[in-house]
Amino acid sequence: MSTPNASGNVLLTHAVGLHARPSVKLTKLAKTFGASIDIAPGPDGPWIDAKSIVRVMGAKVPQGAYLHFRAVGQDAAAAVAALIGLVERDFDDTPADAASG
Amino acid sequence: MTANVGIVIVSHSAEVARGTADMVRQMVGDEVPLAFCGGDPGGGLGTNVESIMSAIDQAWSDKGVAILVDLGGAETNSEMAIEMQPPERQGRIVVCNAPIVEGAVMAATEASGGAALDDVKRTAEELYPG
């Protein structure tokens, strides 16, 4: 049996893109899953480790980009669904957070 | 035991130390043991070994403690504070070679996921390598 894998993408609507606070939230959520998870600013990459706060923040994915996810591991599908949910909820930010990045 | 590596912030300025700790709490959350110290008792700038030792006690975790410092004396006094720890803590406290604010947020983010001390230190230092 092959290892489960999953992928998906979501439009990044957050006002400042994938900046400091959204990056921390995304990384923390990714770390709660056993699956290995990569994110990319487009379908062709460059793929970076979603559990690396330094790389996620360093990617500087802008508002309006489609954030792509791919995951491999037993909880891959749940991981991708949860991460897409976080982006769709605008990282659970308050409006004040969004304004200040 | 606490499941996550603790973070200690040591600045010459009490306000920088407190502000850095605020950023960690607000950006990362409460799941990482965190303590900070800075300034001298008279309200001026400075660091001292006793305050650092007390901060290490506050943030202590069996998984270890990562210290973020600003300049000169913050680093040397942190190293002295580590040397004065009991033997069972030796080797489980490290000073990160990283900028204090950014390093503290990076280290705490890594620590919040249950990472080992080496990984927490490496993550803090990865931001501005060299």
Q: Which of A45, A53, A49 is nearest to A20 (CA)?
A: A53
Measure the CA–CA gap between A75 and A84, rounded to whole angstroms: 14
- Residue B103 identity: G
| Placement of tokens 């993550």 in the chain | B123
Clarify whether B12 is annotated catalytic. yes
A39-54 CB burial, b ≥16 within 10 A, e <16:
bbbeeeeeebebbbbb
Per-residue HEC secondary structure of chain A comes to CCCCEEEEEEECCCCCCCCHHHHHHHHHHHHCCCCEEEEECCCCCCCEECCCHHHHHHHCCCCCCEEEEEEECCCHHHHHHHHHHHHHCHHHCCHHHHHHC
Q: Is residue B97 part of a domain?
A: yes
Active-site residue identified among B12, B61, B111, B120: B12
Whether A41 contacts A65, CB under 8 Å:
yes
Q: Is residue B55 part of a domain?
A: yes
Q: What is the pLDDT of residue A73?
A: 97
Which domain covers residue B43, as residue numbers? 6-126
Partner-chain contact B106 A53, CB within 8 Å = yes
Whether B68 contacts B5, CB under 8 Å:
no
What is the pTM (predicted TM-score) of this model?
Answer: 0.90
Segment among A22-31, A33-42, A87-96 with least mean pLDDT:
A87-96
- Whichever domain contains B109, its CATH number is 3.40.50.510
Interface test with B, best of A16, A23, A28 (most B CBs within 10 A): A28
Measure the CA–CA gap between A15 and B55, rounded to whole angstroms: 37
Interface test with B, best of A16, A25, A53 (most B CBs within 10 A): A53
Task: Point out the residue among A28, A51, A54 whose CB comes nearest to the CB of B106.
Answer: A54
Name the domain count of chain B. 1
Q: What is the pLDDT of residue A17?
A: 81
When pLDDT is cut at 50, 70 and 90, the band that residue A100 belongs to is: low
Cβ-based contacts under 8 A for chains A and B? 29
Q: Is residue B1 part of a domain?
A: no
Three-class DSSP category at B6: strand
Domains of chain A: 5-96 (3.30.1340.10)
What percent of chain B has a predicted confidence (pLDDT) above 90? 90
Partner-chain contact A24 B105, CB within 8 Å = yes
